[in-house]
Structure 1
Amino acid sequence: MTIEQIYTGCLAQGAYYITSNGEAVIIDPLRETQPYIARLEKDKVKLKYILETHFHADFVSGHVDLAKATGAAIVYGPNAKPEFEFISAKDGQEFKVGDVTIKVLHTPGHTMESTTYLLKDENGKDHCIFSGDTLFLGDVGRPDLAQKAAHMTQEELAGLLYESLTTKIMPLADDVIVYPAHGAGSACGKNMMKETVDTLGNQKRVNYALNQPNKEAFIKAVTEGLTPPPAYFGLNVAMNKQGYESFETVLNNGMRALTPDEFEAAAENTEALVLDTRSNNEFYKGFIPQSVNIGLSGDFAPWVGSMIVDVKQPLLLVTDPGLEEEAVTRLSRVGFDNILGHLKGGFAAWLAAGKEADVVDRITAEQFAKEANLETEKVIDVRKESEYSAEHVENAYNRPLAYINDWIKDINPEEHFYIHCAGGYRSMIAASILQARGYRNFTEIEGGFKSISETTIPKTDFVCQSKVMKA
């Protein structure tokens, strides 16, 4: 028996590849299936099952394409009703894979179909659980995502999650290994550890959710502090239920190379958004007017999903030459399939063709410290509230990037302000959106708070809850 965790950092997502005596099972696969198929061929094993822990909200799974390519059966737990052929497993049902057994533990709460898979080794001993979004390391799955589908409140779902954990998972032995679907950085939980594998015994000791004295305390603990989920989550759930266009088709469309003239015509004659995936350190120096910058080197896919609400939005890509396929692949993982093509030769080709370009007004942290008057000039900090609360520039306003569509209306276009995040990634996203919507009255700070903290500019960890930004 072999178990391999295939962890994708930009999504904070873990897929699992298990083999035993010539057979294999894959749990929660990513959208692109060729790496799995190549691995199966290399190991000379037959894929018997594709196990899905639930209908994922934060990424599009590769289950449909993988089943078509291999003939493997897709398995969901109770209550799942996808629009394609699958096995509806019953609670307690067992599946043989080579010499090991995988037992279905129905664990509703995060979603109604959420299922944990318990793997028993060749000797029948409980070896590990693949807990999906039911149990994370340091946390449990958020109970607010399935409210509409389940016709239940988040408190009712949290109560179900409590019952699932206490009756199905907590009774298992301490030496059982926990393999979760996500780690730190995922929006599917709020308190995940950076580690991606642990023992159940350690989780019983350190996981706040597993250490609540009763059901009522558990419900309160897991529902406190939940931020609104990204808008694309519901659309990804629908794709995972209904099926989707093949990844190869999406990739072929995205790999369509457009000359600067063709690219410009496509941008003018369609409703496409120009998405520039270069680093913020390159983007600010020059970019196609009205384009939005979300750098491929950061948490690219989740931020695309948060900033571009509709997964069907047509996209035109600007990338560093050679990174076109990676950009398309990572977009497809969160359901952004409507990619019309990319700029052949990248932004350098655009400039060489004599096309119009724009820039962002950026200064260093040292310049900011010298010229800014914190008593009279506004500073907008687009980091998360928790980052801001820990320490921030004195008198700065906290306006998290995730809510830019809410606070952008409060910006006075006649009044200058400074904008920053932690290191420049998020503030450049904000800067590009602001300029695309006609705001040019700001200066972005290079290096963000990390660089600002090294200057003498006044900082504080005091949060004034009544501080309001007025237009």
Structure 2
Amino acid sequence: MTVEIIETPGLGNRSYLAHDGHMALVVDPQRDTDRIRTLLDRAGVRLSHVFETHVHNDYVTGGLELARSLEATYVLPAAEKVSFGRLGVVDGEVLDVGSMRMRVVATPGHTHHHVSYLLTDAAADEMAVFTGGSMLYGTTGRTDLLGSEHTEPLARSQHASVRRLATEAAATTRVLPTHGFGSFCAATPADGDDSTIGRERERNPALLLDEDAYVSQLLAGLSDVPAWYARMAPVNRAGPSPVDLTPPETAAPQELRARIDAGEWVVDLRDRAAYARRHLPGSLSFELSASFLTHLGWLLPEGMPLTLVGETPEQVAEAQRELVRIGVDDLAGAAGGPIEALAGKATLASLPRASYEELARARERTDVLVLDVRRTAEHADGVVHGSVPIPLHELLARRCELPPDRQIWVHCASGYRATVAASLLAAHGYDVVLVDGCLRAWLESGSPGGEAAP
């Protein structure tokens, strides 16, 4: 029996494909299912079942489309209310997939009706447990996505569910969660990229702490989640439309200018250093990296026309693939190639960049305001003295708090979010300097102007 891991770093999630050489099953697939089809074809196996551990809050599922198109059985917890046909399963139920068996284990906590699936082979040996948002690596799934009134009761259910898994599964059973690889669905950052039930018995807080202590720790660690999370469960309950990765219409230089002037978002996918050197005035920097989907998806106003600008068509296609995973399907257009060509006759803009050493000197000036766009919880890692904290995801709503007559020096932890923030502020007419560098390294160097965590 083989288990393939399908990584989706932009979401911080994993999907899984398991097969016995003839029949296959898939667990918690993301929306771009062509990746799974490629694995099925490569292995020469037929898809029999698609299993969902829960109705997802952080991405549009590809499970329904995959099951329909390949005539597989779509499996969901029976108590979930959805608008389409599926096989509803309950605790203790066993489904055969070729020589493999999947036993349903009720593990409420991340959601009310969450289940895990215990996978065994033909010899009835436990091979793995697909834990979704229940037991993660050194942590658990968060319990606050269904509303504040459910958070604590679900946290108590989560404690019991993880303990049940640790009791019913063997120590050697491989733990295969969906969340926890950067996903905001994890209560706290996960530890590592592989684990077993035995390893989790030694380190998972749900197994080491009593119920009250675990609940207190989990609730204290919860932070804001990306704005798109509120839209995902309704889409998944209604049944997502088939994914369409057809390239968007090409936008000419004059169209790019007109869209920016109209207040639409024209997003530059190039690396932030290239953006700072030269970019279309009024365009916004969201470098195509592991952080791209989180921050663009979080900040993009609902219904805002979106045009992508990249160095190559492949870069645009990669960004489009990321965006459909959270339901951003309708791009206004795209453009690729050297930025000089995309500008046409317009003059390109630049964004001043500075080091933390330069920031330490500049912060003493009366015409400078230092803006920290990290999340509040990150301030425990250290701060720049005198900085004004506005988390990036609150910046659009709170930019009126920034004085228009002062130069804004923007920083974060590494430079990614600071570049996003600087581009947003510059597009609204602020005089901005991007502080691009590693905050932790500067704080630990002992340079004056900052305070490192104790």
**TM more than 0.5:** yes
Pair 1:192–1:367, CA change in 2 (3 A)? closer
Q: Does residue 117 of structure 2 align to residue 111 of structure 1?
A: no
Q: Structure 1 pair 404/448, CA: closer, same or farther in 2 (3 Å)?
A: farther
CA distance in 2, matches of 1:184, 1:35: 19
- TM-superposed CA distance for 1:325, in Å, is 0.7
State the 1:162 CA deviation. 2.4
Q: Report if aligned partners of 2:380, 2:453 keep a CA contact under 8 Å in 1.
A: yes
CA gap 1:218/1:118 in 2 versus in 1, 3 angstroms: same
Q: Given the superposition, is the C-alpha separation of residues 356 and 242 from structure 1 closer, same or farther in structure 2, using an over 3 Å criterion?
A: farther
Q: CA deviation at 1:272?
A: 3.7
Query: Does the CA-based 8 Å contact 1:374-1:395 persist in structure 2?
Result: no
| Residues in 2 aligned to 1:40 and 1:462: alpha-carbon distance in whole angstroms | 49
Q: Please tell me the residue identity of whatever aligns with 2:319.
A: A
Please list the CA deviations of residues 84-143 of structure 1 after superposition, one character each: whole Å capped at 9, or x if unmatched.
221111211111111110011121111122110111122112221100001111111111
Q: Give, as a single letter, the amino acid of the residue that structure 2 aligns with 1:82.
A: V
1:448/1:410 CA distance change after superposition, 3 Å: farther
Tell me, yes or no, if the aligned pair for 1:231 and 1:309 is still in contact at 8 Å.
no
Residue 420 of structure 2 aligns with an amino acid whose one-letter code is: I
Change (3 A) 1:430 1:202: same
Residue 380 of structure 1 aligns to a residue whose secondary structure is: strand
The aligned residue for residue 15 of structure 1 is: 15
- Provide the residue aligned with 2:256 in structure 1: 263
- Answering whether residue 214 of structure 2 is matched by residue 203 of structure 1, we say no
* Equivalent in the alignment of 1:424: 415
Question: What's the counterpart of residue 94 of structure 2?
Answer: 94
Contiguous gaps of at least 5 residues in structure 2: none
Alpha carbons 1:23, 1:45 under 8 Å: kept: yes
Which residue of structure 2 aligns with residue 178 of structure 1?
A: 175
Q: TM-score, normalised by structure 2?
A: 0.92
- 2:340 paired with 1:348: yes
**Within the alignment, does 1:63 sit opposite 2:59 as a pair?**
no
The residue number in structure 2 matching 1:459 is 450
CA distance in 1, matches of 2:397, 2:332: 29
Q: Is 1:293–2:285 an aligned residue pair?
A: yes
Q: Is the 8 A contact 2:25 2:49 kept in 1?
A: yes
Assess if the C-alpha contact under 8 Å between 2:78 and 2:87 holds in 1.
no
Q: Which moved more, 1:223-232 or 1:368-377?
A: 368-377
Alignment of 1:40-59 (within 5 A): 40-59=40-59
Q: Deviations over 1:362-417 (max 9, x none)?
A: 22344334544278843222223344322232333333223324542321112233
- Superposed CA RMSD in Å reads 2.4
Q: Is residue 241 from structure 1 mapped to residue 237 from structure 2 by the alignment?
A: yes
- Aligned to 1:198, the other structure's residue is in SS state coil
Q: Which runs of 5+ in 1 are unaligned?
A: 464-471
The residue type equivalent to 1:198 in the other structure is: S
On the 8 A contact 2:75/2:89 being kept in 1, the answer is yes
1:415 aligns with 2:412: no
State the 1:178 CA deviation. Answer: 0.6
Specify whether residues 64 and 462 from structure 1 end up closer, same or farther in structure 2 by C-alpha distance, changes over 3 A only: closer
**Is residue 73–residue 86 contact of structure 1 (8 Å, CA) maintained in 2?**
yes
Answer whether contact 1:180 1:197 (CA < 8 A) is retained: no
Report the equivalent of 1:139.
139
Q: 1:445 to 1:258 in 2, by over 3 A?
A: same
- Taking the aligned partners of 1:206 and 1:255, their CA distance within structure 2 comes to 47
Match of 2:218 among 218, 222, 236: 222
1:333 equivalent to 2:329? Answer: no
Q: What is the distance in 2 between the residues matched to 1:430 and 1:155?
A: 34
In 2, the alpha carbon distance for the partners of 1:451 and 1:175 equals 40
Matched, 1:323 2:323: no
The answer to whether the Cα contact below 8 Å between 1:51 and 1:75 also exists between their aligned partners in 2 is yes
Measured after TM superposition, the shift of residue 330 of structure 1 is 0.8
Does residue 273 of the first structure (1) align with residue 269 of the second (2)? no
Amino acid at match of 1:84: F
Taking only the aligned residue pairs, the percentage that are identical comes to: 28
Separation in 1, partners of 2:269, 2:17: 31
Equivalent residue of 1:67, what SS? helix
**Is the Cα–Cα contact under 8 Å of residues 365 and 451 in structure 1 kept in the other structure?**
no
Partner of 1:121: 121
Shift of 1:199: 0.9
Q: Are the equivalent residues in 2 in contact too, given 1:366–1:455 (CA < 8 A)?
A: no
Change (3 A) 1:207 1:345: same
User: What amino acid is the match of 2:273?
Assistant: N
**For residues 193-245 of structure 1, what are the alpha-carbon distances to aligned partners after superposition, in whole Å with 9 as ceiling and x for unaligned?**
342220111111111222112x3323222211311222110212222222233
